[in-house]
Amino acid sequence: MSWAWLLVLLVTYPWLLLADMLSDSLASWGVVIFITGAVLVVPCRRLKLWQSVLVAGCLGFLFEARRPIPDGVMAFWMMAAAIFFSTRREWLRNFPLLLRAAVACNVLGCLVWYFAAAWALPYRGTITWSNVLPELTLQVFTAAFAGLIFLLPVSYVQELIMDRAGVPVAKDVV
Amino acid sequence: MERNRQGAKAAYVLLTIVMVLWVLSPSVVRRFNREAFTEFQAPALHLVGKGRDLARYWELKSRNTEDLVAASRDLARVNAALELKLAMMQDLRDENKRLREIARYTPPNTFYTVVARVGLRETSSWWHRINVRKGLDDGVRPGCPVIFGDRVVGRVTVVHKNSAEVDLITSPAFRCTAFLEGDDQGRMVVVDGRAANSLTPPAARVWNIPYDYSIPAGTVPKVMTTGLGGIYPAHLVLGTLEANLRNAQDGNFKEGVLRPGRDLFSLQEVTILVPTKPSRAEDLLSGRYDELQ
């Protein structure tokens, strides 16, 4: 079904909103709950390559739309990740592998937006590694943890909608 | 599997071409794309804000009548006192107007206020932002100052149809000039947000503090806007200056830490000051440069 990618995107968005609400409640801690990378791996397991690239692009643009990140950085990184996973589906064969891919994708995505946002900053005079490194570490661990926690419920909903939409399981995953 | 690998190569090549086209595309394309994805999210963000308002409404509704009667009695007293003050202010305003006419003084830019509810807040090392539920349709423009009472909250950076993004004063992208309370010579300092200060209370940096400035004993000096940049009205409070000033790297000035006047992440409502006349920069951007000349 050619519209399956849109359905997957629509059922994924409430989870992104939930992550935004968690970020809102943790605003005084300065931590962003980032799950955009983790929600990409399940669609890559079943959707066609072009469909998963579309989902990835939309997820990336959704993340960077309200944040001071250079245009397209997250979206193109997500598209590259979607191509990578969609052409190596044997890496997503079972749940532990899926979990590993989700954590890796989320952490790398987190690094991408973190450095892209730093690059886009108008005044960079006061940035030093000594004050960035602890925060970066915290952000990366939060991204890994969020990927672990969110993968199960998000993958359940995504698999459900793909079952309903009649998207077959890819041969190299079985 | 081999077919997959070949497909991957073709897909990466295509992605590279699209990336190059994206970089070369006019900025209006990128701006339209960003705006489209923001507007896609806008209804959900409004719903979150409305849900929070509803929760607050039911919380207030659960209070007993006696509390409400006491609160409204107190409010009535405050209102009476404010009405008296307003009448006095009217006299001052009339006198001020008469004096300005005599002196042929050009009044500073005036503002009208737009009260906005806070939607989502988000902070990271590189941004401290709140999303407010007022936008272009309400007359909000980029660059408008955002306050709460007499305290500066931040500045509008991006405006969408029905919402806007506000950079808080602790955000690394924020910068403005200020005066320090207790500096009789009225010398100007610069305030900007600090990058990577999470897990500690939000703060900004005050720099360019004159070397001979010392904090008056027993006081916590306020840092106030100068009104010179044309963005913020004068005498709004940015926050308070912490006592431990240190020497700047160049050795000619000092720098210190500014603590915002309010807990910026617990605000439910803010006021956006929209200039009644467009600023010089807005005039330039809108192509009215010749008129200015």
Other CB atoms within 10 A of residue B52 CB? 17
Its sign, for the CA torsion B279, B280, B286, B292, is: positive
Preferred mutation among B25, B117, B122 to probe A, highest tally of A CBs within 10 A: B122
For residue A82 the two structure tokens come to: 């979607």
Cβ distance A17 to B205 less than 8 Å, yes or no, reads no
Task: Tell me, yes or no, whether A12 lies in a domain.
Answer: yes
Task: Tell me, yes or no, whether A174 lies in a domain.
Answer: no
Distance from CA of A95 to the nearest CA of B (A): 21
Nearest residue of chain B to residue A23 (CA atoms): B122
Query: Which residue of B5, B8, B173 is in closest CB contact with A121?
Result: B173
pTM above 0.80, yes or no: yes
Which region among A22-26, B103-107, B119-123, B287-291 has the lowest average model confidence (pLDDT)?
B287-291
Task: Tell me, yes or no, whether A63 lies in a domain.
Answer: yes
> Is pLDDT above 60 for A24?
yes
Of the pLDDT bands very low, low, confident and very high (cuts 50, 70, 90), residue B214 is confident
Task: Tell me, yes or no, whether A124 lies in a domain.
Answer: yes
Cβ distance B172 to A172 less than 8 Å, yes or no, reads no
Distance from CA of B253 to the nearest CA of A (A): 16
Buried b (16+ CB within 10 A) or exposed e, B124-140: bbbbbbbbbbbbeebeb
Task: Tell me, yes or no, whether A172 lies in a domain.
Answer: no
Task: Tell me, yes or no, whether A133 lies in a domain.
Answer: yes
CATH no. for B111-278: 2.40.10.340
The number of folded domains in chain A is 1
Residues in chain A within 8 Å Cβ distance of B199: 29-30, 134-135, 138
Cβ distance B125 to A65 less than 8 Å, yes or no, reads no
Distance from CA of B76 to the nearest CA of A (A): 35
Domain of A54, in residue numbers: 4-164
Which region among B140-144, B146-150, B209-213, B281-285 has the lowest average model confidence (pLDDT)?
B281-285
Cβ distance B122 to A139 less than 8 Å, yes or no, reads no
Q: What is the pLDDT of residues B216-227, one digit of tens each?
A: 888 888 999 988
Q: What is the pLDDT of residues B1-46, one digit of tens each?
A: 566 667 788 999 999 999 999 999 999 999 999 999 999 999 999 9
Task: Tell me, yes or no, whether A95 lies in a domain.
Answer: yes
Of the pLDDT bands very low, low, confident and very high (cuts 50, 70, 90), residue B293 is very low
Task: Tell me, yes or no, whether A171 lies in a domain.
Answer: no
Nearest residue of chain A to residue B22 (CA atoms): A72
Residues 6+ apart with CB under 8 A from B170: B128, B193, B194, B197, B202, B203, B204, B260, B264
> Is pLDDT above 50 for B284?
yes
Residues in chain A within 8 Å Cβ distance of B5: 87
Q: What is the pLDDT of residues B52-109, one digit of tens each?
A: 889 988 988 888 888 889 999 999 999 999 999 988 888 898 998 899 889 887 766 6
Residue ranges of domains in chain B: 18-61, 111-278
Q: What is the pLDDT of residues A101-140, one digit of tens each?
A: 999 999 999 999 999 998 888 776 666 777 788 888 999 9
Residues in chain B within 8 Å Cβ distance of A62: 37, 40-41
Nearest residue of chain B to residue A13 (CA atoms): B41
Q: Do residues A52 and B15 lie in contact, with contact meaning Cβ atoms separated by under 8 Å?
A: no
